[in-house]
Amino acid sequence: MTGRLLRDHLSLTGLVIIILIFAVTMAAPVLAPHDPLPVELSERLRSADDQYPLGTDPLGRCLYSRLLYGGRITLQYSLSVLAIILLIGIPTGLLAGYLGGMVDGLLMRVADVVLAFPNLILALVVTGFLGPGLINVMIALAVVSWVQYARVVRGMVLSLKQKEFVLAARSAGTGPLGIIWHHLVPNVLPPVVVMATLNLGGLVLSIATLSFLGLGAQPPVPEWGAMINEARNYMVSTPMLMLLPGTAIALTVLGFNLLGDGLRDVLDPQGFTRPRQQSAGSSKPSPRLFSRRGSQ
């Protein structure tokens, strides 16, 4: 499995990007030449030199250090949001799918309501309601994104529980919890891992977006989206201030997406997480059909 993933150039690139970004940001306290917070107005808007590898921002803070620390915050919060989403979404989907009936109806109607609004707009509303701050952004994103996981997991559980191995397990005396834990969870996880990886890129982007809008990280906390926002007034005179955090966000998202695509080919050949084919009359055979045939 790992071999197949590493042989694919694109996913390997993604993996390398992700590992590099993680390594660099996690090592920020070691790598950063300056403290990212204190204001040093005498040093404002300096260009790159030995002391400041990427120059300074309008408040005289080292841009390089802020980028490194900013990445830490972005990644930390994205991962925390993801963890919350998974902890809510997977059990909800498992319950709804396995129990069916009233429980399923109730949970899925709640999911429908959440799905009816565009994600970012709803997140904006929730953050607006809770007030700005990274923790609130985290809650807002979790509220709007657990739904997709619950939906996907429920769908898979609905088809899995018809399988003969579930009947066989029940005929051997396994109880409902055993069925869920031993037979549903292991089968549900691979597509969920793929979804989560692809989703991480999106979460990084959402956190940056909300911070850019001033709802997430509050100054002076370095965060990529917030840094772009702070750099708006200097877009023409010092474009690097905006371009560097922008590139960092783009690279991270690209890395997660490439890795997620690769993981999907390896872990989810049946295409549970693949976006639906739009044109029915397309002349190209759909990759989904291909992999189906190949896998059976």
Binding positions for another protein, rule: CB under 8 A: 163-165, 167-175, 178, 182-183, 186-187, 190
Minimum Å gap between C-beta 27 and another protein is 36
Distance (Å, whole) CA 50 – CA 54: 9
The DSSP line for 6-61 is: HHSHHHHHHHHHHHHHHHHHHTHHHH-SS-SS---GGGTTPPS-SSSTT-B-TTS-
Q: How far is the CB of 192 from another protein (least distance, A)?
A: 13
d(CA 136, CA 215): 9
Nearer to another protein by C-beta: 41 or 172? 172
| Least distance from another protein to the Cβ atom of residue 184, Å | 9
Q: Which amino acid is at 169?
A: A
Q: Around 246, how many Cα atoms within 13 Å sit in the side-chain half-sphere?
A: 11
Name the residue among 147, 15, 137 with its Cα closest to residue 85: 147
Nearer to another protein, 161 or 288 (CB): 161
Closer by beta carbon to another protein, 175 or else 287:
175
Nearer to another protein, 16 or 168 (CB): 168
User: Which DSSP letter does residue 183 get?
Assistant: I
Q: In the complex, what is the shortest distance from the CB of residue 259 to another protein, in angstroms, rounded to a whole number?
A: 21
Least distance (Å) between residue 97 CB and another protein: 15
Place of tokens 């990886």: 197
Peptide bond into 220 cis (omega under 30): yes
Based on CB atoms, which residue is closest to another protein, 23 or 168?
168
